[in-house]
Amino acid sequence: MKNRYRSALMFALLALMAAFQISCKEDDVDTHGEPSITYIRVTNPASSDSLLVGAFQSNLIAIVGENLQDVTEIWFNDQKAVLTPTYITNKSILVSVPAMVPKEISNKMRMIFSNGRTLEHDFEVQISEPELTGMNCEYVATGGIATINGNYFYPPLTVTFAGGVTGELVSVTDQIIQVRVPQGALPGQVTVKTAFGETKSDFWFRDNRNIFLSNDPFTGWWNQAYVVTKPGAGDPVAINGNYIRVKEVVSGWQWKEVAGGPPDAMGPISKNIPDEAILRPADYNLKFEVNTLKPYNNNLLKINVGLAKDFVTDAYQWAPPYDTKGEWRTVTIPFNEIAASYESLGVKMAVNPNGYYTRLLFHGGGDLDADISMDNFRVVPKILKK
């Protein structure tokens, strides 16, 4: 029995040694031969058969070939990659494409080895076109500075407004552009162009679409006294005609209707909400501009929009805190969140060709020392059809 066990153990050891020897023969190559690249692929094992001729910045790639172990530098265009020795073998290298944007584009990857050899391979660093996510405020006067948020803002770039006029760049980082609004800028999309592509915004500058509450002129049931028609000293500047300003203490659970009314009181403006927004609220946003000279830090603003039959008191609640520190800012609320607030109370939005009920109501816990201005309530598409 012992002899049989020893024989089995010896056989297992011999088999293991044979497997190791075969493995070594498969892995060992002529490490003094010329380096070469067979292909480049993604590093995800589930997609290991996906070969690459280019990759985006910061993507991790696998370079597969022969005699690669002595590499000391890898350059993509004119940008040097960071190498990790543990990710380098004679047959493969794992390396991330540099994040920095190249100044000179050759669409080549260049490898330098310790013996002075170099190896070039065609490889494109795919640099993203600009991505525009929004503006701090979509209403900025001519000569004012507009702030555009997004990504991949690589100079040199241009910002063009509807009307075909180009703004003066004030400041540019990868994610923020500050641009002076030029004479002749019109309501519409903004276009940002870099050396790597151009993108039109899904949002509109000075967005005048689908406004259902503007006070130009005043309509509705409540509080015309809150409408500012001629801003004076200490008032926020007007950004699009008249605006609402609430400057008083709103006590906790005080019923303070600020603006709105049923369709017949609001007039034709109450019909401005698109049918598609009522039927597919997930595709739309509610937007409006806000300016706080004192922080909105208590109470609640309850918003009714797109209601076909009546008001709903405890529907969507725009809750504090919010503080613009005396600047106008654009507020964006997904319209499906408003629809969901209605449905939670058993009310479903429906298309009404006669218009919709509108209300802004302060009604919540906590006293609010308010100085808050609002304008341009609108329901607009999240993404524009190309």
List, in order, residues 6 or more apart from 312 with CB less than 8 Å away.
Answer: 304, 342, 345, 347
Q: Place 31 in a pLDDT band, splitting at 50, 70 and 90.
A: low
Please tell me the predicted confidence (pLDDT) of residue 4: 43
Rounded average pLDDT over 43-58: 84
pTM (two decimals) = 0.82
Rounded average pLDDT over 102-131: 95
Q: Place 44 in a pLDDT band, splitting at 50, 70 and 90.
A: confident
The mean of the pLDDT values for the chain is: 92
Q: Which of 68, 127, 120, 113 is nearest to 94 (CA)?
A: 68
Q: Place 30 in a pLDDT band, splitting at 50, 70 and 90.
A: low
Distance of CA 272 to the CA centre of its chain: 27
Percent of the chain exceeding pLDDT 90 equals 87
CB atoms within 10 A of CB 139: 22
DSSP state, 336? H
Whether pLDDT at 14 is above 60: no
CB atoms within 10 A of CB 21: 10
Whether pLDDT at 29 is above 60: no
**Residue ranges of E strands in 53-185:** 54-56, 60-66, 71-76, 79-80, 92-96, 108-113, 118-122, 124-126, 131-135, 145-151, 158-162, 165-166, 168-172, 176-180
**Start-to-end C-alpha separation, the chain:** 80
H or E stretch covering 329: strand 329-334
Rounded average pLDDT over 75-90: 97
Whether pLDDT at 16 is above 90: no
Q: Which of 38, 32, 370, 328 is nearest to 223 (CA)?
A: 370
Whether pLDDT at 9 is above 70: no
Rounded average pLDDT over 243-248: 98
DSSP state, 322? B
Whether pLDDT at 71 is above 90: yes
Please tell me the predicted confidence (pLDDT) of residue 12: 39
List, in order, residues 6 or more apart from 165 with CB less than 8 Å away.
Answer: 182, 183, 184, 185
Please tell me the predicted confidence (pLDDT) of residue 113: 98
- The CA-atom distances, in angstroms, between 236 and each of 210, 256, 301, 373 are 24, 22, 20, 8
Whether pLDDT at 262 is above 80: yes
Q: Place 213 in a pLDDT band, splitting at 50, 70 and 90.
A: very high
Rounded average pLDDT over 114-127: 96
Rounded average pLDDT over 345-352: 98
Among the ranges given (15-24, 66-75, 253-262, 269-278), the one the predictor scored with the smallest mean pLDDT? 15-24
Q: What is the pLDDT of residues 140-178, one digit of tens each?
A: 999 999 999 999 999 999 999 999 999 999 999 999 999
Whether pLDDT at 2 is above 80: no
Rounded average pLDDT over 356-370: 98
Q: Place 385 in a pLDDT band, splitting at 50, 70 and 90.
A: confident
Please tell me the predicted confidence (pLDDT) of residue 98: 94
Whether pLDDT at 20 is above 50: no
Please tell me the predicted confidence (pLDDT) of residue 18: 40
Please tell me the predicted confidence (pLDDT) of residue 386: 64
